[in-house]
């Protein structure tokens, strides 16, 4: 007895599926909370590569600096020469990298709330900042009377911090980022700990404590998300195309045999 159309299609497509494997690739969130990176503030200049995806290529760089002095002005009435000094801790962006910002200048970036979606489309008021530059997390300007004096901060490092880090502060803050893997854009979030001087580090030290990213290109991730499959690859892979072609060929053969009978 001749098999039905449904039976023949099932046999044909089943064989193709076995030969070519699954039809789509699922995305997954990759989470890292075991490799903290710290930039120290007002110590010897220091730079630390941040390799988000573990491919031995720096995607970002966390940089700390000590106070650097330049002649500022001379107070003739007081007979005192003042010097300005500044130290900062920054996140520097390598090729393709960018951080989420909200309003302000193109260099600004934003402390985000948990649950905010980071991806090709952002919530209203949020945009992507410029790539391949640096973003200041902590900055402190001082004024001293000579280059050997201990700087006394102008209070730029007291809760609402930095020239570019909006709505941030001491303690833990989330940021959103994007970076390239083999030329494709991936999205993620990170948590920054800005030390107020009562922790294990010094006042103003910045640590990237943990982060996560979506390993499927162009797939969004929620701030604070540490697991799950957010996206399926909507582009058919070779197995999917072969499966469809095999099914169509089987249907043509069956119709040909039916007419001949």
The 10 Å CB-count burial string (b at 16+, else e) for 138-151 is bbbbbebeeeeeeb
Tokens representing residue 191 in the block = 């948590």
Q: In the 8-state DSSP scheme, what is residue 112?
A: B
Q: Give the residue ranges of DSSP H helices in the chain.
A: 5-20, 238-260
Q: What is the value of pTM for the model shown? A: 0.70
Q: pLDDT tens across 66-124, in order?
A: 766 665 566 677 666 666 666 777 788 876 788 888 766 555 677 899 999 999 999 98
Which pLDDT band holds residue 5 (cuts at 50, 70, 90)? very low
């Amino acid at each position: 007895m001749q098999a039905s159309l449904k039976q023949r299609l099932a046999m044909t497509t089943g064989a193709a599926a076995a030969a070519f494997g699954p039809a789509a690739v699922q995305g997954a969130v990759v989470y890292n909370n075991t490799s903290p990176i710290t930039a120290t503030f007002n110590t010897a200049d220091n730079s630390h590569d941040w390799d988000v995806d573990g491919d031995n290529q720096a995607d970002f760089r966390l940089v700390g600096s000590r106070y650097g002095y330049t002649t500022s002005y001379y107070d003739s009435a007081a007979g005192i020469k003042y010097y300005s000094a500044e130290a900062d801790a920054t996140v520097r962006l390598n090729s393709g990298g960018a951080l989420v910002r909200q309003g302000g200048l193109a260099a600004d970036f934003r402390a985000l709330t948990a649950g905010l979606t980071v991806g090709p489309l952002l919530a209203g008021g949020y945009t992507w900042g410029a790539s391949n530059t640096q973003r200041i997390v902590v900055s402190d300007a001082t004024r001293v009377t000579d280059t050997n004096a201990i700087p006394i901060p102008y209070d730029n490092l007291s809760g609402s911090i930095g020239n570019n880090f909006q709505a941030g502060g001491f303690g833990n803050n989330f940021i959103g980022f994007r970076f390239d893997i083999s030329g494709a854009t991936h999205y993620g979030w990170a948590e920054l700990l800005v030390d107020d001087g009562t922790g294990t580090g010094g006042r103003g030290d910045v640590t990237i404590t943990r982060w996560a990213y979506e390993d499927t290109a162009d797939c969004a991730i929620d701030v604070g998300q540490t697991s799950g499959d957010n996206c399926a690859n909507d582009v058919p892979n070779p197995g999917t195309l072969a499966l469809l072609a095999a099914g169509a060929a089987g249907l043509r053969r069956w119709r040909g045999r039916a007419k001949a009978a």
